Structures are given as structure tokens and as C-alpha cells.
Structure 1
Amino acid sequence: MRQLIVRRLLQTVPLLIFVSIACFAMIKLAPGDPVLSFVTPNMHAEDIERIRHNLGLDKPGYVQYFIWIKETLSGNLGYSLINHKPVLGQIMERLPATAGLMGASIGLAVLLAIPLGLVAGANRNRWIDKLINLFSYIGISVPLFWLAILLMYFFSIKLQWLPSMGMRTIGVNSTIDVIKHGILPCTVLAFGFLAIYVRYIRSSTIGQLKEDYVQIQYAFGSTKRTILFRHVLKHVLLPVITLLGLSLAELVAGAIVTETVFSWPGIGSLGMTAVKGMDYPVIMGITLFSSVMLIVGNLLADILYGITDPRIKTTR
């Protein structure tokens, strides 16, 4: 296991370099100029060039990239071109809001997907399997922003049961208020995750039910429910671990569209604001942070594989 961790960490370095170069190149090739955010109608060309020089945007692209890499290695992700605040400070400030929302959504999706996927796989091609499959297809096909607007219209505007925007009510500082604001965005995100998780678990359940150990358990007189939740469930957890590892990056990057629709003050809305304003340091910081979390998630998934299934061995 130690060799696996060391090998994966060594593989991380070239991967992060490739991600940073690709992201930096795409940002530079994108249309727009961040200097325009500082330009006023009465500003002279010399003033505009002075702003460009102060921001370091007058240097060649490769020089800007190496300067950014040098600062990043020292723990400095730079300063925002819009509000002049440290990028890392802004990410860490918004991380709890995104992690709380995404963590609750993924946790709720997993808790619902495991029994639904097991039941669908155990009753293949029956009415309950078709019903769960229909639900999954709808969840995969429906755009989350449309679902968010729909829920906001019914539960916030029509019924007025839940708040529609933000994370807190002005003047109210309580946990219940935060939970009420998070119900709608959490439901939207959990709906999208649930549809994907159910499909994976159903497919894995169908494959496990064909294994010899299942037939042996039937021969010993075990019930179908016991086989599903005591024996098959252990093997079904493997694809779930993979999905959770891949979802770790989303705990950081968040759901950009969902956070924007509900005005949730997380990293996703920060990234959307940065894209609109061509705020290069913030975009690069969020991309790099998300990439690191994705790599860490994959590494944790590999470690949990060995814990969940001791038969999995790691080799050089």
C-alpha cells in the first residue's frame, strides 16, 4: 500500500503541470481582456497600458505562466484582478459553504441510491426496476438549472415554504436558517447524483447476483433480502467508492450552475464571477485546487479498495 501511495504521488506532479498548462492556455486563448474592467470613458491609452503593466499582463504568456508557477510553489496563488484579495483566502473563505452543500447532497444521494440500486438489480426487468430506471433516466436527462428554477418557483414563490436565494436571512444567525436555505440546492444536486449512482449500483448488483457465492447462499436457505444486504452489498460498495473518490473534486469546485441560480456563496459562484470578469488568478486557483482534490480522491478510493476488499493486491 505504501508503494501505491508513493507511486501515485509521483504521478501527480506531471499531471498537475499538464492541467495547469492546459488551463492557462485556454484562458489566454479565450476572448476578452481583464483590463477592460478597470477602464473608464475618460481614461487615456497611457493609463490603460500602465494598468496592464501593473497587472503583469504586458509580458509574454509563457513568462506569465512561469511567474504564476513560481508564486504557486511558494504557497501564493496570487491576487484577484477584480477585488485585489488573495485567491487562496477567497477559496478557503467559500470552501465551507460549498463543502457543506456538496457533502450533504452526495451523502443523501448515496443513502438513497444503495437500496434503490440493490432493489432494481434484484428485480431486473420487473415493474419496480422499470420505475427506478425511469427515475434514473429523468435524473440524467433533466438539466439541473431547469429543475432548480422549477423547485424555486413552486416552493419559494407559490407555496412560500422555503427561501429561494442566499445562505442566510439578513439579521438571522442560526443553524436552522442555514438548513432551510440549503434544502432546495441540496435537493437539486442530490437528484443529479442519485440518478448516476443508482445506475452504477444496479449494474453491479446484476453482475454480483450471477456469482457462485449467491447460489451457495440460496442453497443454505438464506433469503433474498439477506443475500442482498449482507453479502452483495459488500461487493457493490466498490463502484460507490470510485464515484465518491471522483466526487471529491466537486466538493471543492461545487456545482457552478446550481450555486449561481440559488446565489449560494460557494466556490462555484466565485468561479462564475471570475469567468465573467476574466479574473485569471482566481480561475487558475480554483482549477488547480479542484485538480488536487480529484487526485486525492482517486488515491483515497484506491486505499479504500484494499480496505473494503482484501483480495485486491497492489503490485509494482
Structure 2
Amino acid sequence: MIKVILKRLLNAIPLLFMISIIAFLLIKLAPGDPIQSFVTPDMHPDDVERIRKSLGLDQPIHIQYMMWLQNTLSGNLGYSIISKRPVLDMIVERLPATIGLMGASLLVSLVIAIPLGMLTAVKKNTFFDRIANFISYIGISIPSFWFALLLIYLFSLKWGLLPSMGMRTVGEDSILDILKHGILPCTVLAFQNISVYMRYIRSSTIHQLEEDYVQIQYAYGSSKARVLYNHVLRNVLLPIITIIGLSIPSLVGGAFITETVFSWPGLGLLGVTSIFSFDYPVIMAITLFSSIMLVLGNLVADILYSVVDPRIRLRG
């Protein structure tokens, strides 16, 4: 298993290298100039060029990329053009907020989707099954930003039950306050995942209930709950682990939108702000960290796959 993990990590190096090249080219080809944030109406053109040279933006694009790559490999992600702060410090400050939000939404998705999907499979074609499928279609179809705005209007503006912005209330420093602020963004991220996971679990459970081993367990006198928990659940989890690995990119992308709508102080909000201000070092750092999160997320999914199914572990 250790060899497999090391091999996957080594294979991720050229992948991250290609992602960095593509991201750097897209940033440089995009319209806009970060120098505009420094320019004043009475500034002399020579001063503008001096600023451009001090930031290294007067070099050819391949030279700029090699300079960025050399600094990144040495552990130096550079300084933000706008805030003048070290990019690594900005990432470290906001990374826990993003990981916490993504982790909480993924945990909520699994806790709700697994029993709900198995229950709809057991009650196939009943009224409960039709209602659950209808709600899942809604969760898959609606845009996350529209759902976020709807929740803000209902729970914050109309009913005043939950805060609509930020991660903390001014003057409050408690876990309960953070949880209250995280309910709405976590709900937005989890709702679509619950809809997707539930449908896969329902389909997989229906297929497993038709297998011979289930009928044999019933013949031995096992109850339906015992069969579902001891036998069907393990086989149902296999495709779900795959779906989790495939849904990590959408979870990261959804975090960018959700954090922006709710002003959640994570990497998503920082990334969107940096894009609008053409803060190249911050954009590249967030792209790199997001790519690393995706690679590690898929690696964890593969490891969990081998834990659930020992046959995969034995084959390596």
C-alpha cells in the first residue's frame, strides 16, 4: 500500500506541473493589468514602467513563469501585489476555513445521503420514494448561488434565524457562533451532494437487494435491517467512495461560489477577490493549493476503497 501511495504522489508531480503552466498562461492572456491598481491620474509613465519592472512584469511570459516556479519550489510563493503580504501567510490563514466548510458539508452529505438512499431503495416506488427523488432532482438542477441567495432571504432577512455573512459575529468568539454562521454555506454545499449521493446509493442498494446472497440471508432468518447493515451497506459503499472522489472538484468549485456569496473567509473568497484585482501571485498559489487538495482527495478515496474492499488491497 505504501508503494502505491508513493507512486500516486510521484505521478501527481507532472500533473501539478501542467496545471501550473496552463493556469499561468490563462492568467497572463486574460485582459487586465495589475499595474492599474497602482496608477494615479498624475503618475508619470516612467514611474508606471518602474513599478512594472519592480514586480517583474516587464519580462517575457516564460521568464516570469520560470521565476515563479523557482521561487515556489524553494517554498516562496511570493508577495501579494495588492496587500503586500506574503502569499503563504494569506493561504495558511484562510485554509482552515475552507477545509472546515468542505469537510463539514461532505460529512453532512454522507450522514444524510446513505440512510436516505437505502431507505428509498427499500421503499421503492412508494410515495416516500417519489418525494425523495423529486427533491433530489431539484438539488441536482438548481444553481448553487441561487440556492444560497434563497437561503439568505428566508433564514436571514425574512425570519432572522441565522447570520447571512462572515464566519464570526463582531465581539463573539465561540464555537457556537462559528457553527451558526456555517449552517447556511454548509447547507448549500451539502444539498447538491446529498442529491447525487442519494441517487447512486438508491440505485446500488436496489441492485444489491436483488443479489442471491440477500435471499440466502433472508432464508436463514436474518431481518431486513440486519441484512442491510451487515451485508448490503458494505457493497453499497464501494461506488460511493468513487463518487466522492469524482465530486471533490465540484466541491472545491462550489466552495468558491458559496464562500463569495456568504463572505466566508476561505480560499474561495480570497481567490475571487484576487481574480478581480489581478493579484497574480495569490491566484497561482490558490490554483496550486486547490490542485493539491484534489489530488490528495482522490488519493484518500482510493485508500478508502481498499479499506472497504480487501480484495483491492490484496491486489495492490
Give the TM interval when normalised to the shorter protein.
over 0.9
1:185 aligns with 2:185: yes
Match of 1:169 in 2: 169
User: Structure 2 counterpart of 1:233, which letter?
Assistant: L
Q: Is the 8 A contact 2:16 2:291 kept in 1?
A: yes
C-alpha separation in 1, matches of 2:121 and 2:22: 41
Name the SS for the 1:234 alignment partner: helix
The correspondence of residues 215-234 of structure 1 with structure 2, limited to 5 A, is: 215-234=215-234
Name the SS for the 1:264 alignment partner: coil
Cα distance change on mapping 1:91 and 1:248 into 2, 3 Å? farther
C-alpha separation in 2, matches of 1:93 and 1:251: 20
1:279 aligns with 2:279: yes
Q: Is the 8 A contact 1:99 1:254 kept in 2?
A: no
Q: Is the 8 A contact 2:189 2:254 kept in 1?
A: no
C-alpha separation in 2, matches of 1:63 and 1:191: 44
Offset, 1:232: 0.9
Q: Is the 8 A contact 2:307 2:313 kept in 1?
A: no
Q: Is the 8 A contact 1:254 1:266 kept in 2?
A: no
**TM-score for both structures, normalised by structure 1:** 0.94
Match of 1:141 in 2: 141
Offset, 1:247: 5.5
C-alpha separation in 1, matches of 2:314 and 2:81: 46
Greater Cα shift, 247-256 or 15-24 = 247-256
Q: Is the 8 A contact 1:271 1:283 kept in 2?
A: yes
C-alpha separation in 1, matches of 2:167 and 2:68: 33
C-alpha separation in 1, matches of 2:221 and 2:275: 60
Match of 2:296 in 1: 296
Match of 1:33 in 2: 33
Cα distance change on mapping 1:139 and 1:248 into 2, 3 Å? closer
Match of 2:79 in 1: 79
Q: Is the 8 A contact 1:168 1:177 kept in 2?
A: yes
Deviation beyond 6 Å, 4+ runs, structure 1: 249-254
Q: Is the 8 A contact 2:242 2:301 kept in 1?
A: yes
User: Structure 2 counterpart of 1:118, which letter?
Assistant: M
Cα distance change on mapping 1:240 and 1:275 into 2, 3 Å? same
Structure 2 unmatched ranges of 5 or more: none
Name the SS for the 2:307 alignment partner: helix
**TM-score for both structures, normalised by structure 2:** 0.94
Match of 1:106 in 2: 106
Cα distance change on mapping 1:134 and 1:255 into 2, 3 Å? same
Greater Cα shift, 252-261 or 115-124 = 252-261
Name the SS for the 1:255 alignment partner: helix
User: Structure 1 counterpart of 2:173, which letter?
Assistant: N
The correspondence of residues 192-271 of structure 1 with structure 2, limited to 5 A, is: 192-246=192-246, 255-271=255-271
C-alpha separation in 2, matches of 1:160 and 1:108: 23
C-alpha separation in 2, matches of 1:137 and 1:254: 18
Aligned residues: 316
User: Structure 1 counterpart of 2:65, which letter?
Assistant: Y
Offset, 1:143: 1.2
Structure 1 unmatched ranges of 5 or more: none
* 1:59-79 deviation digits (Å, cap 9, x = unpaired): 111111111111111111111
C-alpha separation in 2, matches of 1:97 and 1:254: 14
C-alpha separation in 2, matches of 1:172 and 1:254: 28
Q: CA RMSD in A?
A: 1.9
Q: Is the 8 A contact 2:82 2:279 kept in 1?
A: yes
* 1:75-129 deviation digits (Å, cap 9, x = unpaired): 1111111111111111110111112222211111110000111122233333322
Q: Is the 8 A contact 1:168 1:178 kept in 2?
A: yes
The correspondence of residues 8-27 of structure 1 with structure 2, limited to 5 A, is: 8-27=8-27
Q: Is the 8 A contact 1:144 1:189 kept in 2?
A: yes
The correspondence of residues 86-125 of structure 1 with structure 2, limited to 5 A, is: 86-125=86-125
1:306 aligns with 2:306: yes
Name the SS for the 1:312 alignment partner: helix
Match of 1:69 in 2: 69
Match of 1:42 in 2: 42
Offset, 1:152: 1.1
C-alpha separation in 2, matches of 1:39 and 1:32: 13
Offset, 1:218: 2.1
